[in-house]
């Protein structure tokens, strides 16, 4: 593999200038006025692939922004890996907050960083895969394993057309695992692979009381105040140990293993520093778990908004006729958002006190994903990143979600191997987005290793956690 790595090393300047080409394209998927730019970025990827040896290259219509597909499937007996990434970016607003690098779409290298919108998220993260695969094809004329490329254009905002596209193109996209780089390291010194993401169930509750707003002196004590009822329902949803009170809620939660707890200990956060940083008196969450365990591997419950009645200055003695609140539960493997939705809705109705009309509805759901820590593709990812960066990546989970990974799991039965090269400090979605140049360069080397390592994997009977 040395020859391929050497080729990649020799071509670093070209890779950087080609990365700059795609960074200059203003592929802001949330902005209808720049839909043409999004398409142009997809076309740029397709044009790049055209010179590499990849086949069936096409910019495919998804119903939303287009996605780029290509494949090279001439390594019989090896796994088929799908490279996933997204060439769309977040809007650059507020433009006046870009102070270190005032031109989001004119990239530059400064202080060891590549600056520009779409560097860390996700162009400088997915392009290393493509450059590494090009290096294999140029040097060897073949890839170590079968590869499909699927780069989408509406991860940051769109119609969901890409998700529908995956669901309706299962044969085209069928694969044994998905390789993606769209996550960040736990810290600048610690390479990191994410093996699980939480899902979500989101709810709205509307509470109706009297037919009109009432005076609390004239009517107080005669009827149930809907806002009091809201407080009662919210308080009833969680006990003082931080656990949801919904019957059956925890039934499908996969318990943390000792191996996982050991991995988490390698990156333990300092609770006291975190507490100070957040400006709270104390951290709080489900009893019996560390903060990271609670954030990554346990479900959580948060109210997002409460409305109703009077919140202006001074006092007004009103009994509001109605109010409501929104809340969500973050879910972990193997909780099913649909099942949770039913359980939570039933429990909210159960908690609803008499004298008010309580209407609860689930707004949206997302499935949690998890790759078992003994999955061989995960180990291949660790080996590859260690070879390029000189330090073995720790296996972590994340508290948030990447919804398409749930689609890959549900519709392709493929685990997502999240080999990220970014840092939390890269300012993705914000002004002055950047990514370390060394992570881009070593990322290419890591990807050269990665596809070789994937080739040696005996395809396991994955991917759903038992
Ligand atoms: Zn991203």
Q: Residue 151 domain-assigned?
A: yes
Q: Which of 289, 206, 205, 304 is nearest to 255 (CA)?
A: 289
Find the 173 Cα to ligand 1 centroid distance in Å: 20
Residues 229, 361 contacting (CB under 8 angstroms): no
Specify the pTM. Answer: 0.91
Find the 296 Cα to ligand 1 centroid distance in Å: 19
- pLDDT > 90: percent of the chain: 95
Strands across the sheet containing 300-308: 300-308, 322-331, 199-208, 357-366
Which CATH number covers residue 238? 3.30.70.360
Q: Answer yes or no: do 407 and 442 share one domain.
A: yes
Find the 181 Cα to ligand 1 centroid distance in Å: 8
Average pLDDT over residues 400-427: 95
Q: Residue 451 domain-assigned?
A: yes
Average pLDDT over residues 400-420: 95
Q: Answer yes or no: do 140 and 244 share one domain.
A: no
Residues 179, 129 contacting (CB under 8 angstroms): yes
From 366, 381, 403, the end of a domain falls on: 366
Segment 376-406, tens digit of pLDDT: 999 999 999 999 999 999 999 999 888 999 9
Instruction: Establish how many alpha carbons lie within 13 A of residue 42's alpha carbon, considering only the half-sphere containing its beta carbon.
Output: 29
Phi, psi of 90 (to 5 degrees): -75, 155
Phi, psi of 277 (to 5 degrees): -60, -40
Find the 118 Cα to ligand 1 centroid distance in Å: 8
Q: Answer yes or no: do 28 and 125 share one domain.
A: yes
Find the 210 Cα to ligand 1 centroid distance in Å: 47
Find the 180 Cα to ligand 1 centroid distance in Å: 10
User: What is the residue range of 332's domain?
Assistant: 199-253+299-366
- pLDDT > 70: percent of the chain: 98
Q: Answer yes or no: do 55 and 92 share one domain.
A: yes
User: What tokens appear for 304 in the block?
Assistant: 């997002």
User: What tokens appear for 369 in the block?
Assistant: 């994903």
Q: Answer yes or no: do 45 and 63 share one domain.
A: yes
**Sheet strands (E) in 256-393:** 300-308, 318-319, 322-331, 357-366, 369-370
Report pLDDT for 182.
96
Q: Answer yes or no: do 154 and 20 share one domain.
A: yes
Q: Residue 27 domain-assigned?
A: yes
Average pLDDT over residues 104-108: 98
Q: Answer yes or no: do 309 and 430 share one domain.
A: no
C-alpha to C-alpha distance for 3 and 456, rounded to whole angstroms: 19
Q: Residue 270 domain-assigned?
A: no
Find the 156 Cα to ligand 1 centroid distance in Å: 7
Q: Sorting pLDDT into bands at 50, 70 and 90, what band is 465?
A: very low
Helices (H), 333-415: 337-351, 376-389, 403-412
Ion ligand 1 neighbours (CB, 5 A) are 121-122, 182
Q: Answer yes or no: do 360 and 374 share one domain.
A: no
Q: Answer yes or no: do 64 and 149 share one domain.
A: yes
Q: Answer yes or no: do 308 and 205 share one domain.
A: yes
Report pLDDT for 461.
58
Asked if residue 5 has pLDDT above 80, the reply is yes
Q: Residue 465 domain-assigned?
A: no
User: What tokens appear for 99 in the block?
Assistant: 């102070």
Find the 86 Cα to ligand 1 centroid distance in Å: 7
The three-state secondary structure class of 293 is helix
Find the 414 Cα to ligand 1 centroid distance in Å: 19
Residues 182, 426 contacting (CB under 8 angstroms): no
Q: Residue 417 domain-assigned?
A: yes
Find the 183 Cα to ligand 1 centroid distance in Å: 7
Average pLDDT over residues 362-386: 96
Segment 171-230, tens digit of pLDDT: 999 999 999 999 999 999 999 999 999 999 999 999 999 999 999 999 999 999 999 999
Find the 63 Cα to ligand 1 centroid distance in Å: 20
Q: Are strands 318-319 and 55-60 parallel, antiparallel or unpaired?
A: unpaired
Number of domains forming the structure of the chain: 2
Q: Sorting pLDDT into bands at 50, 70 and 90, what band is 466?
A: very low
Find the 119 Cα to ligand 1 centroid distance in Å: 10
Q: Sorting pLDDT into bands at 50, 70 and 90, what band is 463?
A: very low
From 344, 366, 388, the end of a domain falls on: 366
Q: Answer yes or no: do 97 and 227 share one domain.
A: no
The three-state secondary structure class of 66 is coil
From 315, 342, 366, the end of a domain falls on: 366
Q: Residue 285 domain-assigned?
A: no
C-alpha to C-alpha distance for 389 and 391, rounded to whole angstroms: 6
C-alpha to C-alpha distance for 362 and 348, rounded to whole angstroms: 11
Q: Answer yes or no: do 49 and 146 share one domain.
A: yes
Find the 401 Cα to ligand 1 centroid distance in Å: 11
Q: Residue 292 domain-assigned?
A: no
Which CATH number covers residue 444? 3.40.630.10
Find the 129 Cα to ligand 1 centroid distance in Å: 15
């Amino acid at each position: 593999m040395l020859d391929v790595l050497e080729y990649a090393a020799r071509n670093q300047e070209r890779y950087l200038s080609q990365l700059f080409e795609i960074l200059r394209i203003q592929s802001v998927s949330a902005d209808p006025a720049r839909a043409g730019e999004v398409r142009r970025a997809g076309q740029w990827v397709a044009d790049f692939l055209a010179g590499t040896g990849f086949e069936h290259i096409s910019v495919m219509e998804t119903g939303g922004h287009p996605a780029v597909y290509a494949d090279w499937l001439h390594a019989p007996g090896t796994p088929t890996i799908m490279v996933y990434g997204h060439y769309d970016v977040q809007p650059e607003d507020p433009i006046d907050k870009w102070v270190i690098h005032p031109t989001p779409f004119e990239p530059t290298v400064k202080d060891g960083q590549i600056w520009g919108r779409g560097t860390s998220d996700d162009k400088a993260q997915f392009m290393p895969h493509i450059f590494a695969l090009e290096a294999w094809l140029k040097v060897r004329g073949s890839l170590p394993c079968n590869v499909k490329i699927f780069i989408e254009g509406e991860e940051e905002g769109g119609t969901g057309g890409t998700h529908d596209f995956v669901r309706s193109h299962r044969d085209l996209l069928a694969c044994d695992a998905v390789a993606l780089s769209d996550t960040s390291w736990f810290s600048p010194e610690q390479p990191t692979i994410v093996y699980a993401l939480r899902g979500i169930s989101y709810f709205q509750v509307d509470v109706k009381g009297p037919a009109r707003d009432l005076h609390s002196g004239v009517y107080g004590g005669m009827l149930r105040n809907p806002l009091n009822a809201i407080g009662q329902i919210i308080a009833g949803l969680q006990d003082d140990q931080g656990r949801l009170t919904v019957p059956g809620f925890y039934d499908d939660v996969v318990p943390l293993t000792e191996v996982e707890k050991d991995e988490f200990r390698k990156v333990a956060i300092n609770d006291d520093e975190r507490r100070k940083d957040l400006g709270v008196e104390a951290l709080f969450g489900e009893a019996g778990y560390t903060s990271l365990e609670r954030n990554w591997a346990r479900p959580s419950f948060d109210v997002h908004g409460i409305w109703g009645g009077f919140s202006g200055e001074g006092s007004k003695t009103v009994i509001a006729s109605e109010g409501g609140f929104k809340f969500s539960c973050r879910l972990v493997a193997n909780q099913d958002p649909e099942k949770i939705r039913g359980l939570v809705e039933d429990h909210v109705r159960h908690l609803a006190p008499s004298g008010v009309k309580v209407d609860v509805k689930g707004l949206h759901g997302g499935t949690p994903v998890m790759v078992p820590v003994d999955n061989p593709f995960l180990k291949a990812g660790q080996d590859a990143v260690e070879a390029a960066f000189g330090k073995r990546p720790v296996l972590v989970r994340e508290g948030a979600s990447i919804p398409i990974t749930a689609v890959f799991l549900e519709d392709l039965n493929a685990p997502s191997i999240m080999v990220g090269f970014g840092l939390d400090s890269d300012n993705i979605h914000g002004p002055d987005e950047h990514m370390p140049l060394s992570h881009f360069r070593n990322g290419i080397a890591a990807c050269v290793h990665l596809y070789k390592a994937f080739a040696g994997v005996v395809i396991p009977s994955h991917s759903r956690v038992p």
